[in-house]
Structure 1
C-alpha cells in the first residue's frame, strides 16, 4: 500500500475538503481527487460519500481511519529506527510498565541516565497487560511484576517492598520492620480485593493463619496515603510514601513481603543488546532505591509474584 495515499486520505479527513487538503499536501485538487479514487480502488471500498455539500466519510471510511493513522505512525517509527540502525546508535526506545513502577522507579532512572539514556517514551498499562504491549509491538521492553512469558527474554531487576505506611508519630514508624501479625491489629487502609498488593497481603495473612478486617478499602493509592497521613490508620501499598509518611517493610514467616521486578524484551529486537544493558543499569539503580535488609529466596519471590497483577 502506498503510504503517500494514506497521507492524502488523512489530510482530507482532517481538513474536511479536497480544496483545503490540496493546500496542506501541496498537490493540485484534481490530482488529489484522482489519488483518493486510486486508494479506494486499491482498498476495494469507498472512503467518502460525495455530494454537493462536500465529502463525508462512509461507514467503511470511519472504520479505516484509525487503521490509516496507525500505519503512518508505525511507518514514522520505522524510519526513525532505520536511521538509528544506520548510525549505529540507539535512542528513544519505549518502555511499558505499571503506573507505580513508572513513577517510583523508571522516571527517576530516566533522570539519572540523562541526555544519553536510551528511553525516550513510555506507556503505562495495568500490571496484567504490561507484557501484551510488547507482544503487540507497541513497546520495546517492559518492567513488570508478573512471571514473564516463556517466549520473551527476561531478567530479575530486583525487588520492591510492600510497605506499611504511617505518620512519623505512629508507634510503628521507628521499627525496622513490622510483623504481619502485629500489623493486622492496626486500623488498616488497604486496596480493594482486585488490586495486586491487597492480594499479596491477603495471601501472606492466610499463610500465617491470620485474618483481618480492613478499616478502609479503596481503589486509589493516593487516597489511601492521604487517609493514613490524616491519622485514619496504616495504609499498605507498594507506592513510595507521600505526605511525610514513613514506610516500614512488612515481615512474615519466610521474610519480608517483597515484589519481584522483571525486565522483559524480545531477544530478536534490533536493540536487544542495548536493552539488556539498560535493564542491568536499571537493576543497579533499583538496588540503590530499595536496598534489601533480608534474604528472599527465588521460590518465595515467585510465590508472591503469582499473586501480583
Structure 2
C-alpha cells in the first residue's frame, strides 16, 4: 500500500525579513568607495569592527558573499557589485526622504494653528499674533468655546489652544496655567447698589432684575451656575447668551444684571460706560483660569514661548488697560503665576 501523501508546510516569511538595513548598506557602499574597512570606519566615525560586523550582517541577511576576501584589498563579488549599483539609488532616496521629513517639520513650525476662547482671541489675541509674527510665516487663529477648541486640538486640527479650565480625559493633552481672573458683578448704570459685604447678598443687590446668563453649553456658563449653586442662589433662566456683547447690551439697557469677568468685559468695552462693574467678595469658586493646551511631547519650545509671551502681554498691556477702564476692581484684575514654565496642570 502506498503511503498517503503528506502536505508540506511552509512558514510565511516575515514582511521585514529582507528589508535593507540602511546603516549597513551605507557602510558597505563606503567600503566599496574607499577600498578599505579602516578608511570606511574613519569616515563613518565608528570602529573598524563595527563596519566589519555590519557588512557580515548584510551578507547573512542576503545569504550571499559580498566581498572576495582572498584578494587584497578585498573586492566586491558579482553579487556585491549588483548590490552596490542598487544601493546608490536607495541611499539617495533615503537621504531625500530624510530631508523631506526635516523640511516638513520646519514647515509645520512655520505654520501655527492656534485656537483661543472668544474673550481671549478678541483681547490678547491680536498682540499675541503680532508677537509671534517673527516666529512663523503663517499663523491661523480660531476662536470659539472651550469644548470645541479642545476637540479640535485632540483631532489635530489645532496645534495649540488657549481655553478656560476643563477636565480632559486625554492624558496626552498637557495643560499649563496662563492666568486667573475673578468673577465680577455687572449692573445697569443707574441701578442703586447697597453695600455688598458677602457674595450671598447678590440677590438683594440685583433686586427684582433678572439674571442674564451665559449659556450652559459654554464653560463660563457652567462655572457661573456652579458659583450660584455654591451661594445658594436660584435665579430663573430667562436670558442666555454664548457671547458677552448681547449679554452686556441687555444689562446696559436696564433689563437685568450679570456675572462676568474682567477679560470678557474688556472684550465688550463699548458698553462699559453704560454699566457698573463691581468685584464680588472672595468665595471658594471665585475665579476662572486660562490654560495653554498642547499635545504631550509636541511643540515644547513653541508652547513655552507662547506661554511666556502671553503672560508678558497680560502684565504689561491687558491688565493695566483693564485697571484704568474698571477702577472699582482690585488690581491686578488678571493675575499671572510666576514664570515657572516647567510646571503643568494635572
State the partner residue of 2:302. Answer: 274
| Alpha carbons 1:189, 1:234 under 8 Å: kept | yes
1:202–1:252 distance in 2 versus 1, CA, 3 Å: farther
1:121–1:80 distance in 2 versus 1, CA, 3 Å: farther
* Secondary structure in 2 matching 1:116: coil
**1:136 to partner: Cα distance:** 1.8
**1:109 to partner: Cα distance:** 2.8
Q: 2:289 aligns with which of 260, 265, 274?
A: 260
State the partner residue of 1:60. Answer: none
| Alpha carbons 1:165, 1:246 under 8 Å: kept | yes
State the partner residue of 1:147. Answer: 167
Q: 1:247 aligns with which of 268, 277, 302?
A: 277
Q: Considering only aligned residues, what root-mean-square deviation do their CA atoms show, in Å?
A: 3.8
State the partner residue of 1:205. Answer: 228
Which has the larger Rg? 2
| Alpha carbons 1:157, 1:261 under 8 Å: kept | yes
* Secondary structure in 1 matching 2:167: coil
| Alpha carbons 2:199, 2:280 under 8 Å: kept | yes
Q: Could you state the TM-score of these two structures normalised by the residue count of structure 2?
A: 0.51
State the partner residue of 1:128. Answer: 147
* Secondary structure in 2 matching 1:150: coil
1:210-234 per-residue CA deviation (whole Å, 9 max, x = no partner) reads 3333563445532211111112222
| Alpha carbons 1:98, 1:144 under 8 Å: kept | yes
Q: 2:129 aligns with which of 82, 92, 110?
A: 110
Aligned residues: 213
* Structure 1 residue ranges without an equivalent (≥5): 1-78, 298-304
Instruction: State the distance in 1 between where 2:290 and 2:242 align.
Output: 22
Spell out structure 1 runs of 4+ moving beyond 6 A.
Answer: 293-297
* Structure 2 residue ranges without an equivalent (≥5): 1-99, 320-330, 338-344
1:98-135 per-residue CA deviation (whole Å, 9 max, x = no partner) reads 22332233234324x27425471112243112222122
Q: Could you state the TM-score of these two structures normalised by the residue count of structure 1?
A: 0.56
Instruction: State the distance in 1 between where 2:220 and 2:295 align.
Output: 28
| Alpha carbons 2:179, 2:336 under 8 Å: kept | no
